[in-house]
Amino acid sequence: MNTMNPSITAEAGIRDQGAAISVPEDKPEDTVIEEGKTVGKPFADDPKFKLRNVEVSYGAARAIKNISLDIGRNEVIAFIGPSGCGKSTFLRCLNRMNDSIEICRVKGSLELDDQNIYDPKRDVVELRARVGMVFQKPNPFPKSIYDNVAYGPRIHGLANRKSELDDIVENSLRKAGLWNEAKDRLDATATGMSGGQQQRLCIARAIAVSPEVILMDEPCSALDPIATARVEELIAEMSESYTIVIVTHSMQQAARVSSRTAYFHMGHLVEVNDTSKVFTMPEHELTESYITGRFG
Amino acid sequence: MPAKKDDVYGDHISNKFNDELLALKTRFLKMGGLVETQIDSAVKALVDSDGYLAEEIRAKDKLVDRMEMDVDEEAMLIIARRQPTARDLRLVISVIRMVADLERVGDEAKKIAKFAIKLSEEGQAPQGYVEVRHIGAHVMGMLHDSLDAFARLDSEQALRVMKEDKRVDEEYQAAARTLLTFMMEDARNISRCMSVMWVLRALERVGDHACNIAENVIFMVKGEDVRHTPMEEAERVVGR
């Protein structure tokens, strides 16, 4: 078995993150939410992702309840919500990372560029190259910096010659804002880098296979404020070339980096709106309660 | 989310944050109360030719200034510590704006007190005191109502305050015309009538500040900025 297959390693990454397999119990607040109804602007023209009536359950327990959402091209959209609300579960639907969780069932229509993501004939590895993922805890391979970035392009056959591979590695590291720090030690082992550098390396690794979408699951949770600020700057630059979906616990981060914000609550998508509106005058009372800290 | 009965805003998870917001509101309203008293006393001092009262008002203005700085500092600390959002953010921003209006009202009271002293020394003006009492009562009512609208988050009351501004302007114009007539009749009246004119002007400004406070209350409650927009726009926002 090829243990270095990036999709398997990434799946291990999910288990390392202690991924939210906890399922929210139904609480009295559920009664104020109308299932399948989302206030604000959940839909977009010519979306990158078109998601309709998505249902995700872990065994008998419903984790995502009838959610419909568009994710626009080249937008940065933030998913926020209390612990256990389903935002990470929903994120993982977008590149079928939930496939690795046996009891997880995904229903509904999920399309990327008008093509069904869950088509059984679909090449999942190719999907995950197009829709890359960066996790909460940086998870570089136990290889050199160069090989971390080069691994994906190698196995996807993106380079015919060493010089082409070198170019891809350099471009990816540059885009991730890591080139100057790494260029003189590309052969050094990646695990020797600081947390912030490792995370930017993981971003470079995702970029190296020319994705169209980058999913980020609390990418700065494990980083200090300076490293966080650098990653946020990076997100702003990357949004010109990629569609970015970021799950975050930090309201301020969502406010800083995203153009639209989606508020999840107990498996429901309560509100989606322009970020500036969500944080100054949200439409739904639950959204306001959460972001003002009246309940978590 | 059920709100706590004694605070229409409802409880934060962080009690300290709750306390900080409550303290900010309380401090602001306390300053409002002080400023209302200042204006009331200033008008009394003028009408009753009470030089002593006028001196008290001028001395107390330092307290008004101090309170403005305290409220501003507290608001700034809330922003730094808590990064407030949505209604909390609008509250803090509104308080910062409104406290400046309150401080200016305090200044107008000081101005009126200054003229009260001047007139008590020069001798009463022949005319204008009825108008001062009338317009004074009018704008004090507006100020009171705007602060009350803030306390109760009542955007409809705030809108009513804004609509009063036009009436105050009309009353002021009428009073100014009357005083002008007196000045034209006899040049010896000019100095004293001018003092009364300045007082009326100061009161008219108090009305403007009450309107500013009302506009900020609407922003706080409804989330839309109605400054510099026509009355119909404010009506639409409040009616939403």
Q: What confidence score (pLDDT) does residue B15 get? A: 82
pLDDT confidence bin for B127, thresholds 50/70/90: confident
Joined tokens for residue B4: 């706590």
Counted across chains A and B, CB pairs separated by less than 8 A come out at: 44
Q: How many CA atoms does the CB half-sphere of A217 hold within 13 Å?
A: 28
CB A79 within 8 A of CB A90: yes
Closest approach of A279 to chain B, Cα-based (Å): 5
pLDDT confidence bin for B115, thresholds 50/70/90: very high
Q: Assess whether pLDDT exceeds 90 at residue B204.
A: yes
Tell me the ipTM for this assembly: 0.75
Please judge whether B85 and A296 are an interchain contact, meaning their C-beta atoms are less than 8 angstroms apart: no
User: What is the set of domains in chain B, with CATH numbers?
Assistant: 15-239 (1.20.58.220)
- In this complex, is the C-beta atom of A250 within 8 Å of any C-beta atom belonging to chain B? no
**What tens digit of pLDDT does each residue of B40-63 get?**
999 999 999 999 999 999 999 999
**What tens digit of pLDDT does each residue of A36-76 get?**
899 999 999 989 999 999 999 999 999 999 999 999 999 99
Amino acid at A28: P
A-chain CB neighbours of B87 within 8 Å are 288, 292
CB A263 within 8 A of CB A33: no
> Looking at the whole model, is its pTM more than 0.95?
no
Q: Hey, how many other C-beta atoms are within 10 angstroms of the C-beta on B199? A: 30
Domain boundaries, chain A: 35-291
Nearest CA in chain B to A276: B86
Please judge whether A294 and B11 are an interchain contact, meaning their C-beta atoms are less than 8 angstroms apart: yes
Closest approach of A60 to chain B, Cα-based (Å): 29
CATH H-level, domain A35-291: superfamily = P-loop containing nucleotide triphosphate hydrolases (3.40.50.300)
- In this complex, is the C-beta atom of A83 within 8 Å of any C-beta atom belonging to chain B? no
- In this complex, is the C-beta atom of B198 within 8 Å of any C-beta atom belonging to chain A? no
**SS3 of B185-197:** HCHHHHHHHHHHH
Q: What confidence score (pLDDT) does residue B124 get? A: 76
CB A51 within 8 A of CB A70: yes
A-chain CB neighbours of B86 within 8 Å are 279-282, 288, 291-292
Terminal-residue alpha carbon distance, chain A:
43
Q: Assess whether pLDDT exceeds 80 at residue A4.
A: no
Angle CA A25–A31–A35, to nearest 5: 85
Average pLDDT value for residue range A143-150: 97
Q: Assess whether pLDDT exceeds 50 at residue A126.
A: yes
pLDDT confidence bin for B6, thresholds 50/70/90: very low
Q: What is the mean pLDDT of chain A?
A: 89
